[in-house]
Amino acid sequence: MEHQTMQPDSPVLECVYSRPGTLTETRFHYCPGCGHGVVHRVLMEAVEELGIQGETIGVAPVGCSVFAYNYLDIDMQEAAHGRASAVATAVKRLLPDRYVFSYQGDGDLAAIGTAETIHTVNRGENILMLFINNAIYGMTGGQMAPTTLIGMKTTTSPLGRTVEASGFPLKITEMVATLPGAYYVSRNSVHTPGAVRHLKKAILKSFQYQKEKRGTCFIEVVSNCPSGWKMTPLEANRWMAEHMFPLYPPGEIKVPK
């Protein structure tokens, strides 16, 4: 091994990538390769760019992102499982000039919180609902979710999910898109730089629409769960694109006319 000493005339390195000031110094607890960290970062980059850190209130779910408030440096409320959008509804109604978002996983938003999800969107609440869909209950150890694919093995569908036993994967994003209260509905992912950039645009747009009081903005992020899926991060992203995208294709689902 050869050690090189720095040349005195080396150029000063420019900082081109750093933690946004809207994230706390706390390290993410998420598993390696998990999408939550990226989504958190993109969300808070948007908050920073819009200069709305002091006006944004978030509602955290129950699930892997239950501790989202440890990372997002804004006022936050921790909701009961499934109820984030109900909590966010009241926050927004009482503080209509604030930016309010809920952040939920698939079990939270599409199973136990289905009623709250549908009715929040149907009322056209002026909030952003962020929905992280990795087709599994990550925090509780990899159980079947409403969005688990047919044939997919989880701890509660050990031989693979069957329609007979568990019905069909729930495409709740398409469902909410049919509701007149939904103003903007978009499905994203965070497995490529391009996908991350698209998500950020979607979030920026959603905050703009919220400012204009247009109705509910609903953003799904199809994500992975390397631990729950028992894959490496790279395998998980490949598997996600190959198997989840056919059922949950990324793209704009409902855009303002």
Partner 1 sequence: MSDLRLMKGNEALAEAAIRAGCRGYFGYPITPQSEILEYLALEGRSRGMIVLQAESEVASINMVYGGAGVGARVMTSSSSPGISLMQEGISYIAGAELPCLIVNVSRGGPGLGTIQPSQGDYFQAVKGGGHGDYRLLVLAPSSVQEMADFVFDAFDLADKYRSPVMILADGALGQMMERVSFREYDPAAHLVAKPWATTGKPVTRERNIITSLHIEPEKMEQINNRLQEKYRQMALHETRCEEFQTADAEYLIVAYGLAARIAQGAVEMARAQGIRAGLLRPVTLFPYPTDAIRALADRVRGVLVVEMNAGQMIEDVRLALEGRVPVRFYGRTGGIIPSPDEVLGALTKMVNEDVLHIEEVS
Size of site (CB under 8 A) for partner 1 = 33
Q: Measured between alpha carbons, how far is 208 from 189 in angstroms, rounded to an integer?
A: 21
Contact positions with partner 1 (CB under 8 A) in 170-229: none
Q: Work out which of 26, 90, 208, 230 binds partner 1, going by CB under 8 A.
A: 90
Residues 114-143 that bind partner 1 (CB under 8 A): 115-116, 118-119
- Residue closer to partner 1, measured from CB, 36 or 83: 83
Among residues 39, 42, 44, 59, the one that binds partner 1 under rule CB under 8 A: 59
CB atoms within 10 A of CB 3: 4
**Cα-Cα-Cα-Cα dihedral of 118, 78, 35, 112, to 10°?**
-40
Nearest to 64 by CA among 24, 88, 100, 35: 35
Is residue 132 a contact partner of residue 214, using CB atoms and an 8 Å limit?
no
CA distance 218 to 127: 8
Taking the alpha carbons at both ends of the chain, their separation in whole angstroms is 62
Instruction: Give the largest Cα separation in the chain, rounded.
Output: 71
Nearer to partner 1, 94 or 159 (CB): 94
Per CB under 8 A, 48 contacts partner 1: no
Stretch of 85-93, 137-145, 223-231, 249-257 lying at the interface with partner 1 (CB under 8 A): 85-93
Among 28, 48, 50, 66, binds partner 1 (CB under 8 A): 66
Please state the closest distance from residue 206 (CB atom) to partner 1, in A.
18
Interface with partner 1, residue 53, by CB under 8 A: yes
Apex 155 CA angle, 153 and 158, nearest 5: 50
Using the minimum distance from each CB to partner 1, give the nearer residue, 12 or 94.
Answer: 94
Instruction: Give the nearer residue to partner 1 in terms of CB position, either 64 or 91.
Output: 91
Nearer to partner 1, 114 or 156 (CB): 114
